[in-house]
Structure 1
Amino acid sequence: MSCQPIVFSRRWCLHAAAILAITVASGQPGHAREPQTPAPDPLQAACTTLQATPMLQVSLLFGLNRPDGGHVSRRDWSRFVRDVVTPRFPAGFSVLRMTGRWRDEHSGRIIREPSRIIWVATPLDPDLRLRLEAIRQAYRQRFRQDAVGLVITPGCAAF
Protein backbone atom coordinates (compact mmCIF):
# COMPACT_ATOMS: atom_id res chain seq x y z
CA MET A 1 0.00 0.00 0.00
CA SER A 2 1.45 3.33 -0.94
CA CYS A 3 0.74 6.65 0.73
CA GLN A 4 0.73 9.53 -1.65
CA PRO A 5 -0.11 13.07 -0.70
CA ILE A 6 -3.49 14.28 -1.94
CA VAL A 7 -3.26 17.51 -3.88
CA PHE A 8 -6.41 19.65 -4.05
CA SER A 9 -6.87 22.45 -6.50
CA ARG A 10 -7.73 25.91 -5.20
CA ARG A 11 -11.05 25.77 -7.04
CA TRP A 12 -11.97 22.48 -5.31
CA CYS A 13 -11.14 24.01 -1.90
CA LEU A 14 -13.44 26.98 -2.57
CA HIS A 15 -16.31 24.67 -3.55
CA ALA A 16 -15.78 22.49 -0.49
CA ALA A 17 -15.70 25.54 1.80
CA ALA A 18 -18.95 26.82 0.28
CA ILE A 19 -20.67 23.44 0.72
CA LEU A 20 -19.49 23.23 4.33
CA ALA A 21 -20.73 26.75 5.07
CA ILE A 22 -24.17 26.00 3.57
CA THR A 23 -24.41 22.73 5.50
CA VAL A 24 -23.57 24.38 8.81
CA ALA A 25 -25.92 27.32 8.17
CA SER A 26 -28.80 25.01 7.31
CA GLY A 27 -28.47 23.25 10.64
CA GLN A 28 -27.68 19.78 9.41
CA PRO A 29 -27.41 17.29 12.29
CA GLY A 30 -24.04 17.10 13.94
CA HIS A 31 -23.10 20.69 13.22
CA ALA A 32 -23.08 23.62 15.58
CA ARG A 33 -25.95 26.02 15.08
CA GLU A 34 -26.65 29.48 16.37
CA PRO A 35 -29.69 29.65 18.66
CA GLN A 36 -32.58 31.21 16.80
CA THR A 37 -34.80 33.85 18.33
CA PRO A 38 -38.49 33.27 17.71
CA ALA A 39 -40.03 35.32 14.93
CA PRO A 40 -41.96 38.29 16.27
CA ASP A 41 -45.71 37.70 16.57
CA PRO A 42 -47.34 40.14 14.11
CA LEU A 43 -50.58 40.25 16.13
CA GLN A 44 -48.72 41.07 19.34
CA ALA A 45 -46.73 43.73 17.52
CA ALA A 46 -49.89 45.30 16.08
CA CYS A 47 -51.64 45.23 19.44
CA THR A 48 -48.63 46.81 21.15
CA THR A 49 -48.48 49.55 18.50
CA LEU A 50 -52.18 50.28 19.02
CA GLN A 51 -51.84 50.11 22.82
CA ALA A 52 -54.28 47.20 22.86
CA THR A 53 -54.30 43.64 24.16
CA PRO A 54 -54.45 40.47 22.03
CA MET A 55 -57.96 39.06 22.32
CA LEU A 56 -60.28 36.71 20.50
CA GLN A 57 -63.29 38.13 18.71
CA VAL A 58 -66.09 35.64 19.19
CA SER A 59 -69.34 35.80 17.24
CA LEU A 60 -72.23 33.50 18.17
CA LEU A 61 -74.89 33.34 15.44
CA PHE A 62 -78.51 32.66 16.46
CA GLY A 63 -81.46 32.17 14.12
CA LEU A 64 -84.84 33.20 15.57
CA ASN A 65 -87.13 30.98 13.46
CA ARG A 66 -88.30 27.84 15.22
CA PRO A 67 -88.77 24.50 13.46
CA ASP A 68 -92.51 24.49 14.33
CA GLY A 69 -93.01 27.69 12.31
CA GLY A 70 -92.94 30.01 15.31
CA HIS A 71 -90.29 32.53 16.32
CA VAL A 72 -88.14 33.14 19.38
CA SER A 73 -89.92 36.08 21.00
CA ARG A 74 -88.19 39.21 22.29
CA ARG A 75 -89.09 38.12 25.81
CA ASP A 76 -87.64 34.61 25.32
CA TRP A 77 -84.49 36.08 23.76
CA SER A 78 -84.05 38.56 26.63
CA ARG A 79 -84.42 35.79 29.19
CA PHE A 80 -81.92 33.63 27.36
CA VAL A 81 -79.35 36.45 27.26
CA ARG A 82 -79.95 37.28 30.93
CA ASP A 83 -79.88 33.69 32.23
CA VAL A 84 -77.37 31.98 29.92
CA VAL A 85 -75.06 34.48 28.21
CA THR A 86 -74.55 37.20 30.84
CA PRO A 87 -73.32 34.84 33.59
CA ARG A 88 -70.70 33.45 31.19
CA PHE A 89 -69.50 36.86 29.95
CA PRO A 90 -70.19 39.28 32.81
CA ALA A 91 -67.46 41.69 31.60
CA GLY A 92 -69.65 42.47 28.59
CA PHE A 93 -70.68 41.65 25.04
CA SER A 94 -72.73 43.17 22.24
CA VAL A 95 -75.96 41.94 20.67
CA LEU A 96 -76.51 42.77 17.00
CA ARG A 97 -79.84 42.40 15.20
CA MET A 98 -79.46 40.92 11.74
CA THR A 99 -81.24 39.08 8.98
CA GLY A 100 -79.57 35.80 8.10
CA ARG A 101 -79.75 33.75 4.93
CA TRP A 102 -78.88 30.09 4.65
CA ARG A 103 -79.62 27.11 2.41
CA ASP A 104 -81.95 24.46 3.82
CA GLU A 105 -80.19 21.10 3.42
CA HIS A 106 -83.42 19.18 2.78
CA SER A 107 -85.30 21.45 0.35
CA GLY A 108 -82.37 23.40 -1.10
CA ARG A 109 -84.34 26.62 -0.56
CA ILE A 110 -82.66 29.81 0.61
CA ILE A 111 -84.16 30.70 3.98
CA ARG A 112 -84.24 34.28 5.24
CA GLU A 113 -84.74 34.71 8.96
CA PRO A 114 -84.33 37.26 11.70
CA SER A 115 -81.13 36.58 13.62
CA ARG A 116 -78.96 37.79 16.46
CA ILE A 117 -75.20 37.90 16.78
CA ILE A 118 -73.60 38.01 20.17
CA TRP A 119 -70.12 39.50 19.78
CA VAL A 120 -67.55 39.16 22.55
CA ALA A 121 -63.93 40.33 22.80
CA THR A 122 -62.31 37.96 25.27
CA PRO A 123 -58.93 36.54 26.22
CA LEU A 124 -58.28 32.87 25.51
CA ASP A 125 -59.15 31.55 28.95
CA PRO A 126 -58.90 27.83 29.78
CA ASP A 127 -62.69 27.60 30.22
CA LEU A 128 -63.67 29.59 27.10
CA ARG A 129 -64.58 26.51 25.05
CA LEU A 130 -66.84 25.24 27.84
CA ARG A 131 -68.60 28.60 28.24
CA LEU A 132 -69.23 28.91 24.51
CA GLU A 133 -70.46 25.35 24.20
CA ALA A 134 -72.82 25.81 27.17
CA ILE A 135 -74.41 28.83 25.44
CA ARG A 136 -74.74 27.03 22.12
CA GLN A 137 -76.17 23.88 23.68
CA ALA A 138 -78.65 25.81 25.83
CA TYR A 139 -79.98 27.70 22.80
CA ARG A 140 -80.28 24.55 20.68
CA GLN A 141 -82.19 22.77 23.43
CA ARG A 142 -84.39 25.65 24.59
CA PHE A 143 -85.49 26.69 21.09
CA ARG A 144 -85.12 23.34 19.29
CA GLN A 145 -82.48 24.66 16.89
CA ASP A 146 -80.24 22.52 14.69
CA ALA A 147 -77.24 24.80 15.05
CA VAL A 148 -75.75 27.92 16.58
CA GLY A 149 -72.94 29.37 14.51
CA LEU A 150 -69.57 30.16 16.04
CA VAL A 151 -66.85 32.32 14.45
CA ILE A 152 -63.61 33.09 16.27
CA THR A 153 -61.02 35.55 14.99
CA PRO A 154 -57.81 36.75 16.63
CA GLY A 155 -57.62 40.49 17.17
CA CYS A 156 -56.74 43.35 19.50
CA ALA A 157 -58.94 45.18 21.98
CA ALA A 158 -58.65 48.20 24.24
CA PHE A 159 -61.40 49.46 26.50
Structure 2
Amino acid sequence: MSCQPIVFSGRWRLCAAAIVASTVAWGQPGHAHGPDAPAPDPLQAACTALHAPPVLQVSLLFGLNRPDGGHVSQRDWTHFVRDIVTPRFPAGFSVLRMTGQWRDERSGRIIREPSRIIWVATPFTSDLRPQLEAIRQAYRQRFGQDSVGLVITPGCAAF
Protein backbone atom coordinates (compact mmCIF):
# COMPACT_ATOMS: atom_id res chain seq x y z
CA MET A 1 0.00 0.00 0.00
CA SER A 2 1.36 3.39 -0.96
CA CYS A 3 0.38 6.31 1.26
CA GLN A 4 1.44 9.61 -0.23
CA PRO A 5 0.01 12.78 1.35
CA ILE A 6 -2.61 14.46 -0.82
CA VAL A 7 -3.29 18.17 -0.41
CA PHE A 8 -6.68 18.92 1.18
CA SER A 9 -7.62 15.27 1.77
CA GLY A 10 -5.98 14.26 5.03
CA ARG A 11 -5.50 10.87 3.32
CA TRP A 12 -2.15 10.30 5.03
CA ARG A 13 -3.97 10.04 8.37
CA LEU A 14 -6.36 7.47 6.92
CA CYS A 15 -3.49 5.48 5.43
CA ALA A 16 -1.71 5.39 8.78
CA ALA A 17 -4.93 4.37 10.53
CA ALA A 18 -5.59 1.72 7.89
CA ILE A 19 -2.12 0.25 8.25
CA VAL A 20 -2.40 0.13 12.04
CA ALA A 21 -5.92 -1.27 11.95
CA SER A 22 -5.00 -3.87 9.33
CA THR A 23 -1.94 -4.95 11.28
CA VAL A 24 -3.96 -5.29 14.48
CA ALA A 25 -6.82 -7.12 12.74
CA TRP A 26 -4.52 -9.55 10.92
CA GLY A 27 -2.84 -10.44 14.21
CA GLN A 28 -6.18 -11.59 15.68
CA PRO A 29 -7.39 -15.20 15.44
CA GLY A 30 -9.75 -15.82 12.54
CA HIS A 31 -8.33 -12.99 10.41
CA ALA A 32 -5.72 -14.98 8.52
CA HIS A 33 -6.41 -15.28 4.82
CA GLY A 34 -5.25 -17.95 2.44
CA PRO A 35 -4.31 -17.65 -1.21
CA ASP A 36 -7.96 -17.91 -2.35
CA ALA A 37 -9.35 -15.40 0.16
CA PRO A 38 -9.62 -11.76 -0.93
CA ALA A 39 -7.24 -9.37 0.79
CA PRO A 40 -8.95 -7.26 3.46
CA ASP A 41 -9.88 -3.70 2.50
CA PRO A 42 -7.59 -1.47 4.62
CA LEU A 43 -10.05 1.44 4.69
CA GLN A 44 -12.89 -0.82 5.86
CA ALA A 45 -10.58 -2.34 8.47
CA ALA A 46 -9.65 1.13 9.75
CA CYS A 47 -13.29 2.24 9.86
CA THR A 48 -14.29 -0.92 11.71
CA ALA A 49 -11.41 -0.65 14.19
CA LEU A 50 -12.25 3.00 14.89
CA HIS A 51 -16.02 2.37 15.07
CA ALA A 52 -16.47 4.98 12.35
CA PRO A 53 -18.76 4.42 9.36
CA PRO A 54 -17.44 4.91 5.82
CA VAL A 55 -17.97 8.40 4.37
CA LEU A 56 -16.79 10.50 1.48
CA GLN A 57 -14.62 13.48 2.35
CA VAL A 58 -15.76 16.26 0.04
CA SER A 59 -13.75 19.46 -0.39
CA LEU A 60 -15.26 22.27 -2.44
CA LEU A 61 -12.65 24.89 -3.40
CA PHE A 62 -13.83 28.49 -3.92
CA GLY A 63 -11.71 31.40 -5.15
CA LEU A 64 -12.84 34.81 -3.86
CA ASN A 65 -11.44 37.00 -6.65
CA ARG A 66 -14.01 37.86 -9.31
CA PRO A 67 -13.10 38.04 -13.01
CA ASP A 68 -14.27 41.68 -13.13
CA GLY A 69 -11.55 42.62 -10.61
CA GLY A 70 -13.87 42.63 -7.60
CA HIS A 71 -13.93 40.27 -4.65
CA VAL A 72 -16.58 38.09 -3.04
CA SER A 73 -17.32 40.00 0.17
CA GLN A 74 -17.70 38.36 3.56
CA ARG A 75 -21.39 39.28 3.48
CA ASP A 76 -21.85 37.70 0.01
CA TRP A 77 -19.98 34.57 1.16
CA THR A 78 -22.08 34.31 4.33
CA HIS A 79 -25.32 34.59 2.32
CA PHE A 80 -24.10 32.00 -0.19
CA VAL A 81 -23.29 29.51 2.57
CA ARG A 82 -26.60 30.18 4.35
CA ASP A 83 -28.78 30.01 1.23
CA ILE A 84 -27.03 27.42 -0.94
CA VAL A 85 -24.74 25.16 1.13
CA THR A 86 -26.54 24.79 4.48
CA PRO A 87 -29.84 23.49 3.00
CA ARG A 88 -27.90 20.76 1.18
CA PHE A 89 -25.76 19.72 4.15
CA PRO A 90 -27.78 20.62 7.26
CA ALA A 91 -25.95 18.00 9.38
CA GLY A 92 -22.83 20.15 9.18
CA PHE A 93 -19.62 21.05 7.37
CA SER A 94 -16.49 23.08 7.97
CA VAL A 95 -15.32 26.25 6.24
CA LEU A 96 -11.58 26.83 5.99
CA ARG A 97 -9.97 30.15 5.06
CA MET A 98 -7.04 29.68 2.70
CA THR A 99 -4.92 31.34 0.09
CA GLY A 100 -5.17 29.52 -3.21
CA GLN A 101 -2.67 29.44 -6.05
CA TRP A 102 -3.14 28.39 -9.65
CA ARG A 103 -1.63 28.94 -13.10
CA ASP A 104 -3.66 30.95 -15.59
CA GLU A 105 -3.77 28.79 -18.74
CA ARG A 106 -3.86 31.74 -21.13
CA SER A 107 -1.10 33.93 -19.67
CA GLY A 108 0.91 31.29 -17.80
CA ARG A 109 0.98 33.62 -14.77
CA ILE A 110 0.73 32.29 -11.23
CA ILE A 111 -2.38 33.70 -9.55
CA ARG A 112 -2.81 33.83 -5.78
CA GLU A 113 -6.12 34.68 -4.21
CA PRO A 114 -8.04 34.42 -0.97
CA SER A 115 -10.06 31.21 -0.98
CA ARG A 116 -12.46 29.12 1.02
CA ILE A 117 -12.74 25.37 1.32
CA ILE A 118 -15.99 23.79 2.42
CA TRP A 119 -15.21 20.35 3.82
CA VAL A 120 -18.00 17.82 4.31
CA ALA A 121 -17.87 14.25 5.60
CA THR A 122 -20.97 12.60 4.15
CA PRO A 123 -22.23 9.14 3.28
CA PHE A 124 -22.61 8.38 -0.40
CA THR A 125 -26.23 8.86 -1.42
CA SER A 126 -27.93 9.04 -4.80
CA ASP A 127 -28.52 12.78 -4.36
CA LEU A 128 -24.91 13.69 -3.48
CA ARG A 129 -23.87 14.49 -7.05
CA PRO A 130 -26.85 16.83 -7.73
CA GLN A 131 -26.26 18.56 -4.37
CA LEU A 132 -22.59 19.21 -5.16
CA GLU A 133 -23.31 20.32 -8.73
CA ALA A 134 -26.02 22.73 -7.51
CA ILE A 135 -23.53 24.35 -5.10
CA ARG A 136 -20.82 24.61 -7.76
CA GLN A 137 -23.19 25.97 -10.39
CA ALA A 138 -24.73 28.52 -8.00
CA TYR A 139 -21.29 29.87 -7.04
CA ARG A 140 -20.13 30.10 -10.65
CA GLN A 141 -23.29 31.96 -11.68
CA ARG A 142 -23.58 34.21 -8.64
CA PHE A 143 -19.95 35.36 -8.67
CA GLY A 144 -18.98 34.96 -12.35
CA GLN A 145 -16.44 32.22 -11.66
CA ASP A 146 -14.97 29.87 -14.25
CA SER A 147 -14.83 26.93 -11.86
CA VAL A 148 -15.27 25.59 -8.35
CA GLY A 149 -12.82 22.86 -7.41
CA LEU A 150 -14.04 19.51 -6.14
CA VAL A 151 -11.94 16.86 -4.37
CA ILE A 152 -13.53 13.66 -3.05
CA THR A 153 -11.68 10.98 -1.09
CA PRO A 154 -12.98 7.93 0.78
CA GLY A 155 -12.68 7.91 4.53
CA CYS A 156 -14.51 7.17 7.74
CA ALA A 157 -15.85 9.49 10.40
CA ALA A 158 -17.42 9.41 13.82
CA PHE A 159 -18.81 12.45 15.60
Give TM-score, length-normalised by structure 2: 0.76
Deviations, residues 42-74 of structure 1 (Å, cap 9, x unaligned): 211110101111111000000000000000000
State the 1:109 CA deviation: 0.5
Aligned partner of 2:157 in structure 1 is 157
Aligned partner of 1:65 in structure 2 is 65
Q: Distance in 2 between matches of 1:102 and 1:125?
A: 31
Larger Rg: 1
Deviations, residues 124-152 of structure 1 (Å, cap 9, x unaligned): 01110000000000000000000000000
Aligned partner of 1:111 in structure 2 is 111
Q: After superposition, where does 1:119-134 map in structure 2 within 5 Å?
A: 119-134=119-134
Which consecutive residues of structure 1, in runs of 5 or more, have no partner in the other structure? 1-35
Amino acid across the alignment from 1:119: W
Which consecutive residues of structure 2, in runs of 5 or more, have no partner in the other structure? 1-35
Q: Distance in 1 between matches of 2:88 and 2:37?
A: 38
Q: Distance in 2 between matches of 1:40 and 1:128?
A: 27
State the 1:105 CA deviation: 1.0
Segments of 4+ moved more than 3 angstroms: 36-39
Q: Distance in 2 between matches of 1:107 and 1:50?
A: 48
Q: Distance in 2 between matches of 1:123 and 1:138?
A: 23
Q: What is the CA RMSD across the aligned residues, in angstroms? A: 1.0
Amino acid across the alignment from 2:93: F
